[in-house]
Structure 1
Amino acid sequence: MSDPQFFPLATSLSFGEVAAISGAALPEGTDAARMITGAAALEAAGPSDLAYMDNPKYTDALAATGAGLCLVSSRFAMRVPTGTTALVSNAPYHAFALVLARFFPTALKPGSMFGSQGVAPGAFVHATAVLEAGVTVDPGAVIGPGAEIGAGTVVGSHAVIGPQVRIGRDCAIGSGSTLQSTLIGNRVIIHPGVRIGQDGFGFAMSPKGHMKVPQIGRVIIQDDVEIGANTCIDRGASRDTVIGEGTKIDNLVQIGHNVVIGRHCVIVSQVGIAGSSTLEDFVVLGGQVGLAGHLTIGMGAQVAAQSGVAGDVPRGARYGGYPAQPALSWARESALLKSLVAKRGKTSDRSDV
């Protein structure tokens, strides 16, 4: 069986070019013309590969690497083995990402599964839809009436773009995703299976039953947002659901109606955000965090994984636990509980004698 190369190398780079891209300086005496033809993990890298390291956990792997060139922070530079050139950077991971993007540009966002531009046979584009030049629509995709899609956008197979949806330029709409009641900016990446713009969970509850409340808002997704596979974003009830510029959302996230998420937030997998909550800019939510409705998470706040947030979180705060509380209080409470359990165990052991 052949071993396919899913992301072909776009170019090779000299040591000097890698240094220029990463913003680092080559050590004195290094051959700047020596070529790098790939990238690999520390333990798998060979003499023509670029690697990186910025985590003490991988110190042993760094010491044993066979990479030709390795991006490292200054504190690990002395651990780079003979035969590997250390390229010192203040942010090795960020620098590695810059170089990797030059090597493998097709891995940056989903592209056409069929490798050709235009509307493929088997796709359906309504006569009133407007597609700019350079839009790609893969087989099985459906573009509804009045939809507008900007140049350079790729719509994956079996994606459904609903009536009047607006999608900007250079976006990627993953296979099997559905978009309705949605306005999308430029350079947005939506991975396969995402659901955007469906009803919010709104019911007027009573002892006689629960009456559905019409959800008449939209979803607004600003530029440079990325949304992971099988995430769901409900449209607003009476105001718009908004995802701010540059925000990155992982797989399997649920965002309820009327939620407003600021710029450059990071939301990790399996987070659930109940309706009408607001996340200000640069908020980070760890995996499986749950937010109650009508909360405000202040700018730059971070919430640890698996925390349950029942109240507002101040700007810049670090919270964790269930219910979530300031991280220092959470750590002290956990330590105290552990100590009490240990003491109780010792008392029980003595009483059994």
Structure 2
Amino acid sequence: MPDTSFFPRGAGLTVGEIAGLTGAELGAGTEPGIRLTGIGALDLAGRDDLSFFDNPRYAGQLAATRAGCVLVASKYLPLLPEGLPHLVAANVPAAFAVVGREFYPAARTPSAVLPSLGISPRAEVDPTAEIEDDVTIEAFAVVGPGARIGRGTIVSPGAVIAGGCAIGRDCRIGAQVVLSNALLGNRVILHPGVKIGQDGFGYVPGRAGLDKVVQIGRVVIQDDVEIGANAAIDRGAIRDTVIGEGTKIDNQVQIGHNVAVGRHSVIVSQVGISGSSTVGDGVMIGGQAGITGHVTIGDGAQLAALSGVATDVPKGARWGGIPARPVREWLREVRFLTELAKKGRSPRNERND
């Protein structure tokens, strides 16, 4: 089967080199000289690929895999087919991620659409903008007056950088991104369609209807933040909206005005965070969770997908459900209601259903 990936393979690494890179141990009977050049899922990997196994649900795929080597946790060694080269890792997903970055460096960060560097003659850059050396600004991008862009940054086609915005070094600004009233640190990645710094949602009832409340704050995005496609982050109303260092935000997330997100937090797709809420450091928020305004999510807290958060969440807590509460309490209630519903069933009720 031909390799259809958009990311070319390089020379790769030997299994022994992968062990040294990841801290994994050579499995029994595994030759350290086996050379691998790619990664793949168990059911798709070939003899030149590294794969991984960390879920017994895929034991059938493990038994039939054609991968050249598999990363596996020690507790799953009994499930390995005889003779399959393997590496034993303490943290299988982390080790697999390390190898992926090594094999495919071009996939770490988005690259320019066209191979040419510098400022495209078809870009619109205000003469007062401050552009450092080694910046790429592609066709149909617009850079407003007084904007600043740091060395090594790529601005993709159709992006709009409004006046006064500052972008640090080695950033990636995707196609159709719109930045206004925003300050970005270094190595920030904004995937296509991200909108940052537009009005927050603010209105008050007036005599003639709803009167607008002006939003005069900024968005401050610290170093090493990555924001997925079509996410939107509102500027602050009378204070800044802040996204902390190293935080990763998935596609289609909405963050309201005055929200402060701490460092190294993870916010998964379609989460909505209402205005003036605070999210601590190292928080993990599952997909489609909704957080009401003016609440605080403590450091290290975890929120299950589809949760509805209406009150403060303590530091290190694990909450879920609607309204969100401690996970054990939530699951206990779900179990009780399920059992109660079963007890309430009768042939007559079933016919009415």
Q: Please identify, of 180-189 and 12-21, the stretch whose mean Cα deviation from structure 2 is larger.
A: 12-21
Please state whether the residue corresponding to 1:119 is helix, strand or coil.
coil
Asked if residue 211 in structure 1 is aligned to residue 211 in structure 2, the reply is yes
Please state whether the residue corresponding to 1:62 is helix, strand or coil.
helix
Cα deviation for residue 146 of structure 1 reads: 0.9
In 1, Cα distance between equivalents of 2:274 and 2:48: 49
Please state whether the residue corresponding to 1:118 is helix, strand or coil.
coil
> Partner residue of 1:280?
280
> Partner residue of 2:100?
100
Query: Where do 4+ consecutive residues of structure 1 move more than 6 Å?
Result: none
**Alpha carbons of 1:65 and 1:206: their partners in 2 closer, same or farther (altered >3 Å)?**
same
Cα deviation for residue 38 of structure 1 reads: 1.4
Quick check: 1:166–1:182 contact (8 Å CA) kept in 2?
yes
**Alpha carbons of 1:318 and 1:5: their partners in 2 closer, same or farther (altered >3 Å)?**
closer
Q: Deviations over 1:284-309 (max 9, x none)?
A: 11111111100001111111111111
Quick check: 2:30–2:86 contact (8 Å CA) kept in 1?
no
Corresponding pairs, count: 351
> Partner residue of 1:150?
150
Alignment of 1:329-344 (within 5 A): 329-344=329-344
Return the letter of the residue paired with 1:134: D
Asked if residue 191 in structure 1 is aligned to residue 181 in structure 2, the reply is no
Alignment of 1:281-300 (within 5 A): 281-300=281-300
In 2, Cα distance between equivalents of 1:342 and 1:179: 53
Cα deviation for residue 78 of structure 1 reads: 3.1
Return the letter of the residue paired with 1:333: E
Return the letter of the residue paired with 2:342: A
**Alpha carbons of 1:238 and 1:61: their partners in 2 closer, same or farther (altered >3 Å)?**
same
Cα deviation for residue 350 of structure 1 reads: 10
> Partner residue of 1:31?
31
Quick check: 1:10–1:102 contact (8 Å CA) kept in 2?
no
Quick check: 2:31–2:85 contact (8 Å CA) kept in 1?
no
Cα deviation for residue 239 of structure 1 reads: 0.4
In 2, Cα distance between equivalents of 1:349 and 1:257: 49
Return the letter of the residue paired with 1:6: F
Please state whether the residue corresponding to 2:26 is helix, strand or coil.
coil
**Alpha carbons of 1:349 and 1:240: their partners in 2 closer, same or farther (altered >3 Å)?**
closer
Quick check: 1:194–1:228 contact (8 Å CA) kept in 2?
yes
> Partner residue of 1:228?
228
In 1, Cα distance between equivalents of 2:270 and 2:351: 45
Cα deviation for residue 19 of structure 1 reads: 1.3
Return the letter of the residue paired with 1:37: T
Cα deviation for residue 158 of structure 1 reads: 0.2
> Partner residue of 2:69?
69
Q: Please identify, of 189-198 and 23-32, the stretch whose mean Cα deviation from structure 2 is larger.
A: 23-32
Cα deviation for residue 4 of structure 1 reads: 5.3
> Partner residue of 1:320?
320
In 1, Cα distance between equivalents of 2:267 and 2:67: 33
> Partner residue of 2:84?
84
Cα deviation for residue 333 of structure 1 reads: 1.3
**Alpha carbons of 1:4 and 1:125: their partners in 2 closer, same or farther (altered >3 Å)?**
farther
In 2, Cα distance between equivalents of 1:73 and 1:273: 36
Please state whether the residue corresponding to 1:50 is helix, strand or coil.
strand
Q: Please identify, of 39-48 and 170-179, the stretch whose mean Cα deviation from structure 2 is larger.
A: 39-48
In 1, Cα distance between equivalents of 2:161 and 2:11: 35
Quick check: 2:144–2:162 contact (8 Å CA) kept in 1?
yes
Cα deviation for residue 100 of structure 1 reads: 0.7
**Alpha carbons of 1:53 and 1:351: their partners in 2 closer, same or farther (altered >3 Å)?**
closer
In 2, Cα distance between equivalents of 1:6 and 1:119: 25
Quick check: 1:65–1:81 contact (8 Å CA) kept in 2?
no
In 1, Cα distance between equivalents of 2:170 and 2:237: 29
In 1, Cα distance between equivalents of 2:20 and 2:350: 68
**Alpha carbons of 1:99 and 1:350: their partners in 2 closer, same or farther (altered >3 Å)?**
closer
Cα deviation for residue 26 of structure 1 reads: 2.1
> Partner residue of 1:175?
175
Please state whether the residue corresponding to 1:205 is helix, strand or coil.
strand
* Structure 1 unmatched runs, 5+: none
Q: Deviations over 1:155-202 (max 9, x none)?
A: 111000111111111111110010011111111110000000001111
**Alpha carbons of 1:28 and 1:81: their partners in 2 closer, same or farther (altered >3 Å)?**
closer
Q: Deviations over 1:326-351 (max 9, x none)?
A: 11111111112112211221384599
Alignment of 1:112-123 (within 5 A): 112-123=112-123
Cα deviation for residue 3 of structure 1 reads: 7.6
Quick check: 1:243–1:260 contact (8 Å CA) kept in 2?
yes
* Structure 2 unmatched runs, 5+: none
Return the TM-score normalized by structure 2: 0.95
> Partner residue of 2:14?
14
Please state whether the residue corresponding to 1:345 is helix, strand or coil.
coil
Cα deviation for residue 267 of structure 1 reads: 0.7
Q: Please identify, of 210-219 and 8-17, the stretch whose mean Cα deviation from structure 2 is larger.
A: 8-17
Q: Deviations over 1:138-158 (max 9, x none)?
A: 111111111111111111110
**Alpha carbons of 1:149 and 1:11: their partners in 2 closer, same or farther (altered >3 Å)?**
farther
Asked if residue 54 in structure 1 is aligned to residue 67 in structure 2, the reply is no
Quick check: 2:160–2:178 contact (8 Å CA) kept in 1?
yes
Cα deviation for residue 98 of structure 1 reads: 0.7
> Partner residue of 2:133?
133
Cα deviation for residue 206 of structure 1 reads: 3.2
